Structure 1
Amino acid sequence: MPELAPTDWRDQAACRPNQPAAPDPDLFFPLPGQSTSPALSYCGRCPVRAECLTEAIERGHGGVRGGMTEDSRRQLARTRRRAAAS
């Protein structure tokens, strides 16, 4: 029987819970002064990073998502809005 394709992009996320090598969710929510590098590196290997980034920008999610920090996503969203307004 062929394997069914996932119905949601989250099913393909590298960080999805309940998988053998699932990362600690706290990795994506570093405390002030902690490095975001481990989370950004993890995101760099994710096959659905673009989808995650889009959702994070649209919904204003916190933490590291889509391979970007919260501050970086805010800056990207502002840049996109300015470009669209031009």
Structure 2
Amino acid sequence: MSPFASADESSTSSLSAQLKETADNSSKRYPAEVLQTFQRGVEQVRATGIEESAKKVGDDAIDATLKGWDQNEVTLSDVWSEGPSF
């Protein structure tokens, strides 16, 4: 199980909800031609299927070793063993 499985799902929006909220809020701030460009971008993202394949709260996360800004390697499972990291 993912170390983030205990996250409060009510405070976490799905990608679909975030995209919709951004689109709704943008309609108040931008001219129509900008909104049309934005809408095409949203449609292109949705067409990739990313909404279905994106990780969700409670999904297992992959373990990996990454280099930090200081070039030191960090293994995610080592960080997770210390508790949730936000």
Give the TM-score, by structure 1 length. 0.24
Name the larger-Rg structure.
2
Give the TM-score, by structure 2 length. 0.24
Structure with the higher fraction of residues in strand conformation = 2
